[in-house]
């Protein structure tokens, strides 16, 4: 069983593409990790890479072995009401849930990819109990010294990652609704920081507020 070596991260060879079924079960990756000897397996995902304002938020979720939570799937394929309903159900059923946040200032200083990985790093390290393996949505390894597997479109293929995507999205949406109370001109309660026509018009009229990402095109 191959372990992570320092900060050199490689996808572990637990999941050869040739063994992926045509119609994958959402617990396939978790089951493969358990068959390799891991027990506390987290799913990790982030929300908020694309918006012009607000933080990027990551979540990490450890589900019990064999867990099946009704209605859990990629958060982007769910309505806001469905995500809000799923949010407490995930908390009630999970072994552990954690959040990591990278601020707009961090995003502007380092770039959105590094900020996303930092948010995911914080989320993974905040889990209690700590995971012994985690599945991460996307192709970029998280900079922690734990075994991990990057899964392209993992939020559709892994129940743990889907759960993390919902937690991250709902948490971030709530942050943006709070920002709306502070800066109502920009419509954050509806656009969540994304570059809608109303949001762009407000930027042209009023300039950026303290939670805007000033390095993003369209903000300044």
pLDDT in tens, 178-216: 999 999 999 999 999 999 999 999 999 999 999 999 999
Place of tokens 């800066």: 183
CA distance 161 to 53: 24
Q: DSSP assignment, residue 102?
A: E
Q: Residue 11 has what pLDDT?
A: 54
Q: Residue 3 has what pLDDT?
A: 39
Of the two residues 20 and 167, the one the predictor is more confident about is: 167
Question: Cβ–Cβ contacts within 10 Å for residue 220, how many?
Answer: 11
Of the two residues 8 and 127, the one the predictor is more confident about is: 127
Q: Residue 73 has what pLDDT?
A: 83
Q: Residue 69 has what pLDDT?
A: 86
- Residues 109-155 pLDDT 10s: 999 999 999 999 999 999 999 999 999 999 999 999 999 999 999 99
- Residues 15-42 pLDDT 10s: 555 455 556 789 999 999 999 999 999 9
If we measure between CA atoms, which residue out of 80, 57, 16 comes closest to residue 164? 57
> In sequence order, which residues have a C-beta less than 8 Å from that of residue 183 and are 6 or more positions away?
209, 210, 211
Q: Residue 183 has what pLDDT?
A: 98
Domains of the chain: 22-175 (3.30.420.10)
- Residues 90-102 pLDDT 10s: 999 999 999 999 9
Q: Residue 15 has what pLDDT?
A: 58
Q: Residue 88 has what pLDDT?
A: 95
Q: Residue 14 has what pLDDT?
A: 64
If we measure between CA atoms, which residue out of 111, 65, 91, 68 comes closest to residue 166? 91
Q: Is the pLDDT of residue 67 over 90?
A: no
Q: Residue 1 has what pLDDT?
A: 36
Q: Residue 16 has what pLDDT?
A: 54
Whether the Cβ atoms of residue 148 and residue 7 lie closer than 8 Å to each other: no
The pTM of the full predicted model, rounded to 2 decimals, is 0.90
């Amino acid at each position: 069983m191959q372990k992570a070596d320092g900060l050199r991260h490689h996808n572990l060879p637990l999941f050869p593409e040739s063994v992926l079924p045509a119609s994958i079960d959402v617990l396939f990756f978790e089951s493969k990790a358990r068959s390799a000897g891991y027990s506390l397996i987290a799913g990790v995902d982030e929300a908020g890479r694309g918006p012009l304002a607000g933080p990027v938020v990551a979540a990490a979720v450890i589900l019990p072995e064999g867990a099946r939570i009704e209605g859990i799937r990629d958060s982007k394929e769910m309505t806001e009401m469905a995500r809000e309903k799923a949010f407490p159900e995930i908390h009630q059923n999970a072994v552990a849930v954690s959040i990591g946040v990278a601020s707009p200032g961090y995003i502007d200083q380092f770039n959105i990819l590094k900020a996303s990985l930092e948010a995911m790093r914080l989320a993974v390290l905040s889990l209690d109990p700590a995971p012994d393996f985690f599945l991460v949505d996307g192709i970029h390894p998280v900079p922690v010294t734990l075994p991990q597997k990057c899964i392209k479109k993992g939020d559709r293929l892994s129940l743990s990652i889907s759960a993390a995507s919902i937690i991250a999205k709902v948490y971030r949406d709530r942050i943006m609704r709070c920002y709306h109370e502070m800066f109502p001109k920009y419509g954050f309660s509806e656009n969540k920081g994304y570059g809608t026509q109303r949001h762009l018009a407000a930027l042209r009229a009023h300039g950026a507020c303290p939670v805007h990402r000033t390095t993003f095109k369209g903000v300044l």
